[in-house]
Amino acid sequence: MELVKSITTPVVLDYDYVTGRAQSRFLRGIAEGRILGQRCIECKRVYVPSRGACPRCAVRTEEEVQVSDKGTVTTFCIVRVPSENLAFNPPYACAAVLLDGANIPFTHVLQECALEDVRMGMRVQAVWVAKEQLGPTMSSIRYFKPIAEPDAEYDTFKEHL
């Protein structure tokens, strides 16, 4: 009898994800090619995307602010392990990007850059899909790419690691 060596044991979870009001505003901004955050009335930090409240001050965030689609890589990792349904072929870089005007970094994929050149402090900018393809989804931003600006000083982003 030929032994069975392995079996598939799939785990499948189907969710209806409801974004809530704060993330809905953020995603509707994305559909217009704008990145919106919210500023805390007390500590003045700008959260992108906002969850509708400041986790430090425990107050609702109401003031909407548009932040830049340019930012600074604070940290990054190189993804080398393939898995199903990845939009990019490994190896590729995933970076935490502190957008200009925001106080928390934002995770996205980095492209148009050799992996060995990815570094903390490098300046990057979002590459958007064509205007007619914009929608209320994070895939409206295809990836971030390096731009010709001098690296940010460590002190300017060390609070956000």
Partner 1 sequence: MAPTEAEHEAPLTAVHHLEYAYRRSVGPVLGRFFAGLRERTICGIRTRAGRVLVPPAEYDPETGDATGDDFVSVGPGGTVTSWTWVSKPRPKQPLQHPFAYALVKLDGADTPLLHAVDALFESRMRTGMRVRPRWRSETRGEIGDIACFEPEA
19 binds partner 1 (CB under 8 A): yes
Q: Using CA atoms, how far apart are residues 59 and 5, in angstroms rounded to an integer?
A: 55
State the DSSP code for 94: E
Q: Shortest approach of partner 1 to residue 146 CB, angstroms?
A: 31
Among 15, 81, 116, 130, which residue interacts with partner 1 (rule: CB under 8 A)? Answer: 15
136 binds partner 1 (CB under 8 A): yes
What x-and-dash track marks residues 21-40 binding partner 1 by CB under 8 A?
x-xx--xx------------
Judged by DSSP in three states, 125 sits in strand
The residues with which 77 forms a beta bridge, in sequence order, are 94
User: How many beta carbons lie within 10 A of that of residue 69, not counting itself?
Assistant: 18
What x-and-dash track marks residues 72-91 binding partner 1 by CB under 8 A?
------------x-------
- Ramachandran quadrant class, 80 (left: phi over 0; alpha: psi -120 to 50; beta: rest): alpha
4 binds partner 1 (CB under 8 A): yes
The arrangement of strands across the sheet holding 35-39 comes to 46-47, 35-39, 63-67
Query: Which window, 7-15, 62-70, 87-95, 146-154, contacts partner 1 (CB under 8 A)?
Result: 7-15
Give me the residues that bind partner 1 (CB under 8 A), please.
Answer: 1-21, 23-24, 27-28, 84, 136-137
